[in-house]
Amino acid sequence: MTRIFNHLPGSLLTVLLLSQLCSSVKWLALSHTPASLHINQTQHCKLLPGLISSQAQLCRINLELMQTIIAAAREVKKTCQKTFADMRWNCSSIDIPRDSSKYTPDLDRGTRESAFVYALSAAAISHTIARACTSGDLRMCSCGPIPGEIPEPGYRWGGCADNLHHGLLIGAKFSDAPMKIKKSGSIANKLMHLHNSEAGREALKEAVVMKCKCHGVSGSCSIRTCWRGLQDLKDIAMDLKTKYLSATKVVHKLMGTRKQLVPKDIDIRPVRKNELVYLQSSPDFCSKNDKLGSVGTQDRQCNKTSIGSDSCDLMCCGRGYNPYTEKLVERCHCKYHWCCYVTCKKCERIVERYVCK
């Protein structure tokens, strides 16, 4: 196999590799879609990058949903990069290019990192739809149902609940579509992606909180109107990051009559539905290796006083670091003037920062 590959020109090789791999998060390329593209005609679906045919069909029969899904793709990218800003792998792999021939499939290798991205993507798409129902952006849905149980004294149900049920239903339809097609990729990879997507939606179900608004004379809060809302995506991403750190390595193995994913090292137990699972160990992400999806940590900022993953020791993999200074301009000596404005001065402050060698 490798011998044949050595004789092929690079571009053909890419095409070959791409046709072998199922990329089920290519829809994240939607994050490049300009905000000005108004999707109100079925032929607009063709302009959207990264969709497989059943997703494009969902687009055509559900045009108004697409703006929400594009927003979800942007949200996934931003949230992943923020959540992993203090880690060696900084979610670089999520930059899915519009041009699919430039796609590097490191999210399809079945690593812990791809587990996180699939879980976050599935959670984000359902989260965004659930919220869009509430804000009135989608005609097909509105507020979630009023809870059945009787509220405590002083509380009453009201407001507009996030429509988690609808978010989960439609979100799963869209984000799981690529894993449901027969020809794409290995079965083990597809099972892994499906499992992690489901784990992402489980994390979303756990993120339902009670939100309330006070009423009463001059903020006395004698009565509260409450509804079920979802935590922000960044909080769900933090929960999934914890699950990423304790993810379980699995193998694809015959269990009874069916091949399933089972934990590799622990005695026989089924995988739990809320844990993240992966098939391949990750590189240490210290040095650049395009094949493994590692951009390396050279020039990454590190924190000299931290003892966590962003410490200069861990981030720079023992290579050492270079200091540089940065000038911060801040508002200071602010004064309140009666009535009603504030004036501030500008102060400069020099801070020392460090980047990995």
Ligand X SMILES: *[C@@H]1O[C@H](CO)[C@@H](O)[C@H](O)[C@H]1NC(C)=O
Catalog residues that contact ligand X under the rule CB under 6 A.
Answer: 38, 40, 81, 90, 92, 295, 299-300, 303, 305-306
Q: Identify which of residues 208 and 295 has a Cβ nearer to ligand X in the complex.
A: 295
Tokens at 181, concatenated: 């097609």
Q: Identify which of residues 186 and 303 has a Cβ nearer to ligand X in the complex.
A: 303
Q: Identify which of residues 190 and 241 has a Cβ nearer to ligand X in the complex.
A: 241
Q: How far is the CB of 295 from ligand X (least distance, A)?
A: 4
What residue spans of the chain are helical by DSSP H? 2-6, 10-20, 53-61, 63-83, 112-135, 164-175, 187-205, 233-245, 312-315
Q: Which residues contact 87 (CB under 8 A, 6 or more apart)?
A: 309, 310
Q: How far apart are CA 135 and CA 338, in angstroms?
A: 39
Q: How far is the CB of 280 from ligand X (least distance, A)?
A: 21
Contacts for 249-254: CB closer than 8 Å, 24+ residues apart = 249/277, 249/278, 249/279, 249/281, 250/192, 250/277, 250/278, 250/279, 251/279, 252/187, 252/188, 252/191, 252/279
Q: How far is the CB of 165 from ligand X (least distance, A)?
A: 30
Q: How far apart are CA 56 and CA 63, in angstroms?
A: 10
Query: CA gyration radius for the chain?
Result: 24
Q: How far apart are the first and last CA of the chain?
A: 38
Q: How far is the CB of 85 from ligand X (least distance, A)?
A: 6
Q: How far is the CB of 99 from ligand X (least distance, A)?
A: 20
Q: How far is the CB of 94 from ligand X (least distance, A)?
A: 9
Q: How far is the CB of 47 from ligand X (least distance, A)?
A: 13
Pairing state between β 294-295 and 277-278 = unpaired
Q: Which of 29, 35, 183 is nearest to 101 (CA)?
A: 29
